[in-house]
Amino acid sequence: MSFTSIVKNEISKLECEKSEYIAELCGFLINSAEIDKECVKIITENASVARRYFSLIKNLYNIVPRIIVRRQYNFNRNQAYILEYNNVKDLLEDLSLSKNNKINKYPDEYIISGDEEIKSYLRGCFISSGSVNDPKTARYHLEFLIKNEEQSILINKLLNQFDLKSKILHRTKGYMVYIKESEKISDFLRMLKAYSAVLYFEDIRIYRDHVNMTNRLNNCEQANVEKIINTANMQLEYIRILEENDALTLLDEKDKLVIEYRKKYPESSLLELSQIISIETNHKITKSGLNHRFRKIKDLALKLSKDV
C-alpha cells in the first residue's frame, strides 16, 4: 500500500463537527466528482474513501447511492468503487455547488468560514486529488492535481494561510499545487490529523537528516585530511628546492628547526606539528607562528625557482 493510501485511510476515519463534514464534502466533490443538476457520481479506488462518503452523504442528506464495484484494467487491476446519487438538489445547494440552476465549482465563504472548516476543506481536496511521496524515497513531495485554475488558486491560497509555502505549476492536463519542504509536508499531515502518518514521516525524516549530517561531516573530514596532506606536500617541495640549491644556510635556526620537524612528521597538520615542536623542544610555538615560518620558506623557494 502506498503512503498516500495510508494517509487517506487514516483521515477517512476521522470524526468531525457537522460544519467540518460539509466543508470536507464540498472540497471532495468539487475536485473529484462528476456533477450535474440531477446526479452526482463518485469514483474511487480506495475502499475507506468510498465508505466515508457513502456514510457522510447518507447521514447528512439521507441519500442512498447506487453502488457499483468494477475491476479496472490498469496495471494494478484495482477495484473501482462507483457511487451514483440522484435527487441531489438539496445536497448541491447546501454545499454551494448549485446556484440559479447552474453548477458552481467554487465554495461560498460560509463553507470555509473558520480555520477548522478550511482544514476540513483541504482534507477533502487531498482525499480527492492529493498524493504524498513516501519519506523513504529520494525526495519530499506533496501535491494536488487540479483541473480548474480557479480552484488551484484557492487551494494554494488556503495552504499558504497556514504558512505551508505551496506553489502552483501549470501542467498539460491541469494545475499542480505542491509542497516541497519536508517540515511543511509534516505540518500539513498534522493539520489533516493524520497523526500516525506524521509519526512515521518524522521518524524517517529524522533518520535521513541524521544520515545526511553524518555524510556531510565525513565529507568535511575527508576534505580536511586532503587539504592537510596537500599543504604538507607543498611544504616538503619547498624544502626540497632549498636543499637542492644549498639555501638552508640562508635561514635562521628557528626556520631550520621547522624544516627538521616537517620532514620528520610529513603528514601532520600545522596545529599538530606546532604541538609536537612545543612538547619536544620545550619552546612554545603556535600554529600561527609555524605558518609564518613556512611562508618565509615558501617565499625563498619561489624566489630561487624564479632565479633558476
- Which residue is associated with the grid cell 452526482? 40
pLDDT bracket for residue 228 (50, 70, 90): confident
Q: Does residue 35 register a pLDDT over 80?
A: yes
Average pLDDT over residues 139-167: 93
Taking all residues of the chain, what is their mean pLDDT, rounded to a whole number?
A: 87
Q: Are 32 and 44 in contact (CB under 8 A)?
A: yes
Closest CA to 103 of 57, 19, 34: 34
Residue 253's pLDDT is what? 86
Q: Are 92 and 98 in contact (CB under 8 A)?
A: yes
Average pLDDT over residues 159-178: 92
Give pLDDT tens digits for 240-266.
888 888 888 888 888 888 888 888 888
Closest CA to 185 of 222, 144, 221: 144
Distance, CA of 79 to CA of 44 (rounded, Å): 9
Closest CA to 184 of 143, 213, 151, 216: 143
Count CA within 13 A, CB hemisphere, residue 131: 8
DSSP 8-35: HHHHTT----HHHHHHHHHHHHHHH-EE
Higher-scoring residue by pLDDT: 202, 218: 202
φ and ψ of 223, to 5 deg:
-65, -40
Ranking 136-140, 178-182, 183-187 by mean pLDDT, the lowest is 136-140
Q: How far is C-alpha 122 from the geometric centre of its chain's CA atoms?
A: 20
Q: Could you tell me the CA-to-CA distances from 40 to 31, 66, 92, 161, 208 in Å, in that order? A: 12, 11, 9, 30, 44
Q: Name every residue whose Cβ is closer than 8 Å to that of residue 248 and which is 6 or more positions away in sequence.
A: 242, 256, 259
Q: Does residue 7 register a pLDDT over 60?
A: yes
pTM, full prediction? 0.70
pLDDT bracket for residue 281 (50, 70, 90): confident
